[in-house]
Structure formats: structure tokens, C-alpha cells
Amino acid sequence: MIPLSSRRYCQLTAFENLGIIVSRSGKYQVVSVHDVSHITTFKKGKFESETKIKKIKETKGCEFYAIGD
């Protein structure tokens, strides 16, 4: 495994068939969605800025997230 960034992720979920990674990280534990379908090589330190689609601000301070159908 290669490190995505120097950021410490508390929770990470990858959806290979969609090319999406959902993560929970940062000082305030915010959930973010990343699009990795177009990335062929990861540049260390650029993962957050190049792939982030949306930061879900309503999840600030959450301790766990779950993805349902």
C-alpha cells in the first residue's frame, strides 16, 4: 500500500467499482468524498487537493459514519 497523504485518516471506505473514496479525517472529524477514477498515479501530498469532490460539513465532529443502500 502506498500512503495517500500525510493526513491521519480515522476512517476510510473505498468503492472500487465507482472510483470513489469516502474518508473521515481532520481536526474536526469531517467526512469527505474523493474521486479517484481519473487518477493513475498518486502524488504524495496532492491527494486531498486533486481528488476531493465534497466536504460534508454537516458531519463535523462525527465519531463514525456508515454508508447504506
Instruction: Report pLDDT digits (tens) over 29-45.
Output: 999 999 988 877 777 67
**15, 36 contact by CB (below 8 A):** no
* β-pair partners for 20: 15, 35
Q: By residue range, what is the domain housing residue 53?
A: 9-57
In which residue are the cell numbers 487537493 written?
Answer: 49
Residue 64 lies in a domain: no
Kindly give, in sequence order, each residue whose CB lies less than 8 Å from that of residue 63, ignoring residues fewer than 6 positions away: 29
Residue 40 lies in a domain: yes
Question: Cell numbers of 37, please?
Answer: 477514477
In which residue are the cell numbers 500525510 written?
Answer: 6
pTM for the full predicted model: 0.80
Walking along the chain (69 residues) 10 residues at a time, the average pLDDT comes out as 76 92 91 87 74 90 88
Residue 46 lies in a domain: yes
Number of structural domains, the chain?
Answer: 1
Residue 62 lies in a domain: no
